[in-house]
Structure 1
Amino acid sequence: MALNRYYSSTKYDSRSKIISLGIKCIFISHQQKDKDAAKKIADYLINAGIDVYFDAYDGDLKINHQANNPKAVTDSIKKGINNSSHMLVLVSPNTLYSTWVPFEVGYGYDKTALYVLCLKGIKKGGLPEYIRAAKIIRDIWDINSFISNVTNKKEELLFESKKMFSHREVNNPLHCVMDSLINENY
């Protein structure tokens, strides 16, 4: 069963340990105003059988943030990244105003497999420069392909077992936060 890796009793200091153990965990980087969308993405990944690190569930991070302790907040973020094999950077117009997303990308750039997920309505030219070199997930079709690759399971099997949903399905939980399928002319 997949989980938010923060809850795991085992914490690692480096990605090499994660990789050697075959652990797949996705660090979800997002601007706080996009927390609801980030939670939907985190839940979708967990349902598909992938561990995530999602800051909303990190009690230490919340306490350190409330105590206005930037060093401890930074250490919590670094620990989350160090326990992740992948980083998924959620991009929306809010991301341009984030103070933490650029730090997370910079810290995780050489430590994780970096991907950018475009939230609803982000056009091709709308990505900040510092993440344009990453692999881009533009729509629900793309995230399903990403999940299939990370889990090494065929999409059809994931659809049949309700681990993920087609971009065409009305009950897909990501319809409200991601585009279904980007038009070729987009």
Structure 2
Amino acid sequence: MTPKVFVSHKQEDSERAALIAARLRMGGLDVYIDVIDAQLSKSGPDLADYIRMRLDECSQLLAVISPITRASWWVPWEIGVATEKERFLASFVSDGATVPEFLQKWPYLQNMADLDRYITESKRAQHLVETYRQQGYGSTAQSRGFRSFHSSLKSSLGQR
């Protein structure tokens, strides 16, 4: 199974999110990005249900964090839903933004070389999850891959 990444971002960061999505695709990952999704005209609970459905289709969430992300309600909500679902989680921090304290637990990327490390670790961890499932770990396979992905990526990025 190819990892599928939900790229979470504030609308004003759509251009950067699209560049990140293109790099992920070039690296062999599948991507969901809402830039061309007409269903996002929904609002309130209907929109929340739709986003949850799209997150269900993804194995990962990559949040684009910029100085304007602080004004977003949706990006933190999407991160919370992804965490609840044990999706592999990382942030791409841009434009001099600081990593919010609640995101420092997970890896954060700062440039395209970091994004390439993310792609490599995504594939490795997804393969690990599939191996765990084949070995009969069932419901714990995702949790094991989740922890492995985060610790391995953080290590490769020099983060603790």
Same fold by TM (over 0.5)?
A: yes
- Superposed, 1:99-110 pairs within 5 Å as 99-110=73-84
> 2:89 and 2:18 mapped to 1: Cα distance?
19
In 1, are the aligned partners of 2:90 and 2:109 still within 8 Å (CA)?
A: yes
Alignment deviations for residues 126-182 of structure 1 (CA, whole Å, 9 cap, x no partner): 112221211111222211111122235xxxxxxxxxxxxxxxxxxxxxxxxxxxxx9
Which of these two proteins has the greater Rg computed from alpha carbons? Answer: 1
Aligned residues, how many?
A: 125
In 2, are the aligned partners of 1:27 and 1:87 still within 8 Å (CA)?
A: yes
Say whether 1:89 aligns with 2:63. Answer: yes
Corresponding position of 1:27: 6
How far did residue 57 of structure 1 move?
2.5
Corresponding position of 2:107: 135
> 2:28 and 2:38 mapped to 1: Cα distance?
23
Corresponding position of 1:60: 39
More helix as a share of residues: 2
Corresponding position of 2:52: 78
Alignment deviations for residues 75-96 of structure 1 (CA, whole Å, 9 cap, x no partner): 1111111111111011100111
Unaligned segments of structure 1, at least 5 residues: 1-21, 153-181
> 1:44 and 1:23 mapped to 2: Cα distance?
15
Q: Which residue identity does 1:90 align to in structure 2? A: V
> 2:81 and 2:2 mapped to 1: Cα distance?
20
SS at match of 2:84: coil
Query: Please, which of 81, 90, 95 is the counterpart of residue 115 of structure 1?
Result: 90
Corresponding position of 1:150: 122
Q: TM-score, normalised by structure 2?
A: 0.71
Q: TM-score, normalised by structure 1?
A: 0.62
Q: Which residue identity does 1:108 align to in structure 2? A: A
RMSD of aligned Cα (Å): 1.9
Unaligned segments of structure 2, at least 5 residues: 125-156
Corresponding position of 1:38: 17
In 2, are the aligned partners of 1:96 and 1:128 still within 8 Å (CA)?
A: no
Q: Which residue identity does 1:134 align to in structure 2? A: W
SS at match of 1:109: helix
Alignment deviations for residues 13-43 of structure 1 (CA, whole Å, 9 cap, x no partner): xxxxxxxxx2410011111111111111111
Identity %: 29
